Structure 1
Amino acid sequence: MNALQLKQAVNISVLDNVQNTIASQASIMLADFAKTQQNIQQAASAPHPTAGHHVDVRA
């Protein structure tokens, strides 16, 4: 293998590793985003903690 072929092989290997890293980071980011969306949905459907404690009956 000459120097050019070696350089190309190393570049391809590094590129492959970078692509794998980016794919795994994107997967983690999307999973975290989905968890956040679920938490927001649950918080939005929960009753307000102080709603109904004080009723203003003044006319």
Structure 2
Amino acid sequence: MEQEGGMRMELSSMMGKQVAELQQTLGLNLLKSQMATQTAQAVKMMEALPKSEQAPHPFKGTAVDMKA
């Protein structure tokens, strides 16, 4: 009888580990999906921004962009 109890605990422990691994995998997959969706939305927003002309030499400090 003692062996059966030990087997049950071992089996329960293994199942608990598998459930935890499955939850972690599902959580990571959901996170990846959300990140892909947010990236796609960010790309759409950036594409919708109006194209602005770049200052001739912005690194030289000869032009100041006063647009809001």
TM exceeding 0.5: yes
Identity within the alignment, %: 9
How far residue 47 of structure 1 moved from its aligned partner, in angstroms, is: 2.6
User: How many angstroms apart in 2 are the aligned matches of 1:50 and 1:24?
Assistant: 43
Ranges in structure 1 where 5+ consecutive residues have no aligned partner:
none
Question: Residue 21 of structure 2 corresponds to which residue in structure 1?
Answer: 22
Q: How does 1:1-59 map to 2 (within 5 A)?
A: 2-47=1-46, 51-54=51-54
Q: TM-score with structure 1 length normalisation?
A: 0.70
- Tell me the amino acid that sits aligned with residue 47 of structure 1: M
- Give the number of equivalent residue pairs: 55
Q: TM-score with structure 2 length normalisation?
A: 0.63
Poorly superposed stretches of 4+, deviation over 6 Å: none
Q: Taking CA–CA contacts closer than 8 Å with sequence separation of 6 or more, which of the two structures ends up with the larger relative contact order?
A: 2
